[in-house]
Each structure stands twice: as C-alpha cells, then as structure tokens.
Amino acid sequence: MASIAADRLPSSTPSYGFLSKERTIAGPGFNRWLVPPAALAIHLCIGMAYGFSVFWLPLSKAIGGKEALACSKDISLFAELFTTTCDWRISSLGWMYTLFFVLLGVSAAVWGGWLERAGPRKAGVVAACCWAGGLVISAIGVHLHQLWMMWLGSGVIGGIGLGLGYISPVSTLIKWFPDRRGMATGMAIMGFGGGAMIGSPLAAELMKSFATPTDVGVATTFLVMAATYFVFMMGGALGYRVPASGWKPAGWTPPAANAGKAMITHGHVHVSKVWGIPQFWLVWMVLCMNVSAGIGVIGISSPMLQEVFGGALIGTDLRFGQLDRDQLKAIAIVAAGFTALLSLFNIGGRFFWASLSDKFGRKMTYVVFFVLGGLLYASIPASAGSGSKLLFVSAFCIILSMYGGGFATVPAYLADLFGTQMVGAIHGRLLTAWATAGILGPVIVNYMREYQLGLGIPREQVYNQTMFILVGMLVVGLICNLLIKPLDAKWFMTDDELAREKALAHEKVRAASMDGVAAKTDARSGTLVAALAWGAVGIPIAWGVYRTLISVQNFFK
C-alpha cells in the first residue's frame, strides 16, 4: 500500500526530461494557434482507421493473385489466423474494425488519467510508436501471410495508439481555448474524420505502384505509411504545449458563476468519481445512441443507395436485381461518390456543429441532433419510395454531419459539466460508449437487413424498418440529454484536492525561468511558425478534399 501511495505523490524534484510535461509548459508570448495543427497532425494519421477497408480486397487475393485462393468452407476463424495456404476472407479482415474501436475506447479509458499527468507530448509519442509500430507488424504479417499478426499489429497495438492519440489533445485544447471550447476540439476531431479521406487514396496509389504479378503491394504500402505517419505524429507530439495554470486569452474574462450559463461549471471533478455520477452515464448514453445510429448507416451507405434506387442511378427503370454485371459496376461507381460525399459532411460537421455549440450550448446542440436527426431518418422511407434521390441524399448528408458533430461537441460538453482539470481522462472513459456503439449500430442495421431479406421483402424496402429503429435510438438519446442537469457540488474536488491534483499533473502557475520550459516567442515569429504548421496539415487535407471531390463527381454525373 505504501508503494501505491508513493506512486501518487508528486515528486519533490521536478523532472525536465525531454518528454516531461514540465518541458511543454508554454512561456509568455506563445501562439495558441500552434496547438490545433499539432493535434490535427496526429488525428489525420490515426483517422486512417476508418479507411482500412481499402486493403481488404487486395489482401483477399494476396496468394491467388487475380482470383482469391479460397480456404475450405469448414475452416474456422482460429485456423484462418495461422493458415498460409489460402487467402483470407474479407469478413475475417473486417474484424480489424472491431479491434480498432474497442481498443480505442478501452485504452482511452484505462490510460486517460495517466495522460493528464504525463502530458500530451508523452502520450502523443507513445501513440505514434503504437500506430506506426502496429503497421510495421502488420506488414510483416502480410509478408508471412499471418492474419494474427495483422490483428495484433494494427488491431491491438495500433488500437492502443488510436485511443491515446485521440484523447491526447482534448484537455490541452480546451485549456488553450476556454473561450471557444467547441471550436477547438472540433478542429482536432475533424482531423480524425479526415484521416481516411487522405489515407485511402494514398494507400490505393501506393499499392498500385508497389504491386507486381506476385505481390499485391500491401506490405510495402504499410511500411511507407508507417514511416510517413510516424514523422507526422512525432511532429504533432513535439508541437504540443500546455498553458500555465490560470492562463487565459488576452482580453477574455471568464463568465461569472450563475451568469446565465448554469451548464458550465467552475468546479472540477476527479476522474475516479465519474463512474458514480448520473450525468456521466447520461452523456454516455447520448454519445452511444448518436454514434450507433450514424455508424450503422456509414457501414451500409453504398449498398443501401444501390439497392434502393437500382438502375435509376444510371438512367434506367430496372431494379437492383435486374441489372447485369456492367450495370452493377456502373452503379457501384455512383455509390462510391455518394460515400465520398457523406465523408465530406462527416468531416465538415465536426467543425461546424462543435463551433455552433459555443453559441447555443452543448445541450441544445444535441437536442438539434436528436430531433432533426429523428425527423430525417423517419423521412427516408418516403423519399426512397418516391424515388427522390435529392431528398434521400440530402437527409443522409445532414445526418452524417451531425454524426461527426456529436464526436466533436462531446469533449466541450464534458468540460462544461465536469470542469477542465481532468477532462481528457473523463473523455477517455466516455469513449467506451463509442466502442459499444461500434458493435451495436452495425449489428442492428446488418441484422435487420438480413432479416427483412429473409422475409422476402424487396431490396428497395428492406431499410424502411431499420430507419424507424434508428429513430427510436435517437429518442432514447434525446431523453437522456434532456435529463442532464448541472452537477451537485458534492462531486467537485475541494481546493486542497485540486491543488494536489495539479501538483501530480506537474502544473506551474507561471514559468519563472525558461529552464526546461517552452521558449518565449515574439508575435512575428509565432505567426510565421503557426502559418507553416497550418500549411503542413492543410496541404494533405486539401489533397484529400480534391481526391474526394473527384469521386463525388461520379455521383452527380
């Protein structure tokens, strides 16, 4: 017990190691706009988790070449993990998604408290090593044709990197932007949504370059992307700075307690208490229901459009089941453009809605998500039945913007309710809701689709009941959101407890000297460095948007 207690006590001698939190404390004159591009550099890399499906088809033909060398029908999933004589099934590769988001939620919950005390730089470096290292292990797994190495590398080790990388900037950004909490977290989390927008076309181009008659090029692609991501993520991690305790933007005055903002607390909750606070579980349900509905739709967006509109997508009156092979290929291209369009709204919604929440409040923003989202889901069967592609697509674009907006708004919601001292750790625990939704949403949508098909319902109608189930989930989320009230004072840390936590987190009131802390920057050099930092992340984003818009064109042709 003594050793455990000792681990929790602040060190009497500050540590100024390269990765220590003390070394990242910003000095006077630091430009806070340098922190968002550092966060984006990490999120744009780990966001490739959304785009991993670009590897499934090539990997399913890694041995067979042009045609997959199928395993025997009775092979078990366990045996498939170790086989070297037949190609992997796409369904087996798809388990990577489950590993990604389950490990993201678990690692964020387990190590969120450590991150608050170790600081974002150390967490970012660990995330870079895990994410890039996982890709290297996966490359070896592809070379040796060992599926278990893919699961271990990118799925487990990479999933831990996802969790740490995802929450690494949350607390820091909220403390740098107390006047714009939603906008700040929206900028960073927008990057996670944009990671696949950049990574998927990049991976496709690399595989095309490295492919040979005997090699699909995935292993080499993994290695190149691992090196690229490692450089970007390390740059982001080393770019993190934390403000001195009590810092506030010039000219900004914190709103007084009870000054019309009852949902914004001036207290701070310790992460160890959140499991017992009803408001935490209400926010947990709010995020889980919003994400479950959205992520379920993302997984079926392409087949849904094709099955609902069939030949109408290419100017014929034929239903989906009446199309020949060439026509099916043609509508698949159109559907890919639809998916790309949804990704743009998913990304843009993260910044738009989170920024809007700074004006309207987090609770009201989620009311809009659930009420407007429910109405839009309920409208889908009618727009599909009438053959109105415009209404159908518009509804899903808005829905996906609110799906992304839910992710970006929730960190600020947590800061409003639980304070900023340990918001990163609390956000980490809340991400278990994402892990749950990553299983719940796709299972409900896919099961309902198969069930409806089994009843003999036409393909263009199999999604109707599913939409109303999703409406029900949003109603549950709305009720939970309306029940959220300001916390009772008993949950907040006392002044002594807060001082102790700040000591454990190595916080400094103001840097007295520049030894071991961030160097002072003048306004001119700070602006130049900020411009270069934004350019470093802005150019890949612009390239990803360009490639996505090319794909979107196929939908509007």
Q: What is the pLDDT along the chain (557 residues), one digit of tens a residue?
A: 333 333 343 343 445 578 888 889 888 888 999 999 999 999 999 999 988 888 988 999 899 877 888 888 889 989 999 999 999 988 888 888 888 988 999 999 999 999 988 999 999 999 999 999 999 999 999 999 999 999 999 999 999 999 999 999 988 999 999 999 999 999 889 999 899 899 999 999 999 999 998 899 999 999 999 999 999 999 999 999 999 888 889 888 877 654 445 678 889 999 999 999 999 999 999 999 999 998 888 877 878 888 889 888 888 888 888 888 888 888 888 888 888 898 899 999 999 999 999 999 999 999 999 999 999 999 999 998 888 888 999 999 999 999 999 999 999 999 999 999 999 999 999 999 988 988 888 888 878 888 888 888 888 888 888 899 999 999 999 999 999 999 999 999 999 999 888 888 777 654 433 334 444 444 555 688 889 999 999 999 999 999 999 988 877 77
Residue 262: its pLDDT value, please?
60
Contacts of 439 (CB under 8 A, 6+ apart): 98, 102
Please state the φ and ψ torsions of residue 90, each to the nearest 5 degrees. -60, -35
Cβ burial 273-306 (10 Å sphere, 16+ → b, else e): bbeebebbebbbbbbbbbbbbbbbbbbbbbebbb
* 3-class SS of residue 215: strand
Kindly tell me the sign of the dihedral angle through the C-alpha atoms of 335, 336, 337, 338: positive
Cα 408 from Cα 357, distance rounded (Å): 10
* 3-class SS of residue 25: strand
Residue 460: its pLDDT value, please?
80
Q: What's the pTM value of the predicted model, to 2 decimals?
A: 0.87
Task: Output the CA angle 139-144-150, nearest 5 degrees.
Answer: 45
Give yes or no for a contact between 119 and 21, defined as CB atoms under 8 angstroms apart.
Answer: yes
Residue 257: its pLDDT value, please?
56
Residue 291: its pLDDT value, please?
93
Residue 509: its pLDDT value, please?
54
Please state the φ and ψ torsions of residue 25, each to the nearest 5 degrees. -70, 125
Residue 3: its pLDDT value, please?
36
Residues in the chain, how many? 557
- Mind giving me the DSSP string for 148-213? HHHIIIIIIIHHHHHHHHHHTTHHHHHHH-TT-HHHHHHHHHHHHHHHHHHHHHHHHHHHHHH-BT
Residue 40: its pLDDT value, please?
96
Residue 11: its pLDDT value, please?
40
Please state the φ and ψ torsions of residue 269, each to the nearest 5 degrees. -100, 140
Catalogue all structural domains in the chain, each as residue range(s) with its CATH number.
27-180+195-244+521-536 (1.20.1250.20), 261-496 (1.20.1250.20)
Residue 458: its pLDDT value, please?
85
Cα 399 from Cα 233, distance rounded (Å): 30
Look up residue 338 and give its two tokens.
Answer: 């639809």
Smallest CA-to-CA distance from 94 within 111, 112, 80, 75 is with 80
Residue 497: its pLDDT value, please?
92
Please state the φ and ψ torsions of residue 212, each to the nearest 5 degrees. -130, 170
Phi-psi bin for 250: left (phi > 0), alpha (psi -120 to 50), beta? beta
Which element (helix H / strand E) includes 284? helix 278-309
